[in-house]
């Protein structure tokens, strides 16, 4: 251990972009006591999954006339309704999040006519919101029919889940891909000058919305901000 003052320090020990497109980062903080390790482990794990926000499509209302709710498909479109909703959920939206906090939901429109391959670039978005990948596939329209979808955009976290199976007049919920795909934690124990210490490891997988080190920094600031409010009370 190269920390003569025994002051806990963060280190990023690994960073990678996986073939799946996800970002991966491994972080270590030490030296910590057992109580400090447990506290940070729980606090950062919860903050990463609940406090890291992103813009996502959360609801789709498809123009009536061509939906077969029994078979969950749309006449003239190759993909099933479930596949189309999943494709909407995979689309990554970008924008200055601070401008959207406490606002919304926002509305976007997909209005195309086949035959064509509908992509993310075809969606009419509100000002300040863009798609990260314009060629993201949505649906293959095989016949000369209109395909009109009203989409709801909201700020979501990794614990946000769409209600599945909604098939009423209000449309269909979308289960959005979260910004934080996975978080793993582990603790390594060691002795230093006869005293027991621990190192807390955090493994973070994110989508292209945010890098792991940015997510960890945001989660840490969230915790610090809450503690500051308590101290000021």
Q: pLDDT digits over 118-136, tens only?
A: 999 999 999 999 999 999 9
Q: pLDDT digits over 10-59, tens only?
A: 999 999 999 888 999 999 999 999 999 999 999 999 999 988 888 999 99
Please tell me whether residues 148 and 185 are part of one structural domain. Answer: no
Please tell me whether residues 28 and 95 are part of one structural domain. Answer: no
Task: Please report, rounded to a whole number, the percentage of residues in the chain having pLDDT higher than 70.
Answer: 88
Among candidate residues 173, 197, 214, the one where a domain is terminated? 173
Please tell me whether residues 86 and 165 are part of one structural domain. Answer: yes
Name the strand (E) or helix (H) holding 89. helix 81-90
Q: Is residue 85 part of a domain?
A: yes
Q: Is residue 74 part of a domain?
A: yes
Across the chain, what does the average pLDDT equal? 87
Across 110-124, 133-147, 212-226, least confident range: 212-226
- Token pair 């709710």 is at which residue? 69
Nearest C-alpha neighbor of 127 from the set 150, 93, 160:
93
Contact 216/41 with Cβ under 8 angstroms? no
Distance CA 5, CA 199 (A): 15
Among candidate residues 173, 189, 208, the one where a domain is terminated? 173
Residue 65 is predicted with a pLDDT of 62
Please tell me whether residues 140 and 81 are part of one structural domain. Answer: yes
Distance CA 230, CA 93 (A): 34
Please tell me whether residues 84 and 160 are part of one structural domain. Answer: yes
Tokens of 94: 């970008």
Domain enclosing residue 196, as ranges: 9-52+179-232
Cα angle: 151, vertex 155, 159; to 5 degrees: 110
CATH number at residue 228: 3.30.1360.10
Tokens of 210: 């945010």
Question: How remote is the C-alpha of 162 from its chain's centroid?
Answer: 13
Give the chain's end-to-end CA distance (angstroms, integer): 38
Helix (H, G, I), strand (E, B) or coil at 72: coil
What residues have CB less than 8 Å from 19, skipping those under 6 apart?
none
Residue 144 has pLDDT above 90, yes or no: yes
Tokens of 47: 């903050």
Q: pLDDT digits over 65-88, tens only?
A: 656 655 678 889 999 999 999 999
Contact 44/216 with Cβ under 8 angstroms? yes
Please tell me whether residues 48 and 58 are part of one structural domain. Answer: no
- Token pair 């124990």 is at which residue? 189
Please tell me whether residues 137 and 123 are part of one structural domain. Answer: yes
CATH number at residue 137: 2.170.120.12
Q: Is residue 2 part of a domain?
A: no
pLDDT classification of 1: cutoffs 50, 70, 90: very low
Please tell me whether residues 204 and 167 are part of one structural domain. Answer: no
Tokens of 61: 């209302």
Q: Is residue 3 part of a domain?
A: no
Cα angle: 3, vertex 5, 10; to 5 degrees: 50
Total of domains in the chain: 2
- Residue positions counted in the chain: 233
- Token pair 């308590």 is at which residue? 230
């Amino acid at each position: 251990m190269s920390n003569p003052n025994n002051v806990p320090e963060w280190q990023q020990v690994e960073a990678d972009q996986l073939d799946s497109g996800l970002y991966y980062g491994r972080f270590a903080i030490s030296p910590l006591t057992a109580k400090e390790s447990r506290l940070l482990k729980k606090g950062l794990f919860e903050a990463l999954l609940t406090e890291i926000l992103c813009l996502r499509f959360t609801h789709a209302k498809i123009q009536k006339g061509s939906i077969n709710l029994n078979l969950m498909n749309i006449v003239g479109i190759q993909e099933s309704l479930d596949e189309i909703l999943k494709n909407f959920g995979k689309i990554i939206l970008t924008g200055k999040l601070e401008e959207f906090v406490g606002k919304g939901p926002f509305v976007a429109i997909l209005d195309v006519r086949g035959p064509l391959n509908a992509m993310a670039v075809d969606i009419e978005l509100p000002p300040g919101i863009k798609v990260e990948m314009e060629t993201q596939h949505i649906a293959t329209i095989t016949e000369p029919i209109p395909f009109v979808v009203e989409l709801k955009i909201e700020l979501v976290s990794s614990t946000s889940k769409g209600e599945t199976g909604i098939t009423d007049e209000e449309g269909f919920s979308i289960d959005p891909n979260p910004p934080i795909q996975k978080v793993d934690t582990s603790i390594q124990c060691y002795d230093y000058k006869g005293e027991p210490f621990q190192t807390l490891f955090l493994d973070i997988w994110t989508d292209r919305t945010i890098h792991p080190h940015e997510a960890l920094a945001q989660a840490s600031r969230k915790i610090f901000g809450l503690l500051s409010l308590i101290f000021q009370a």
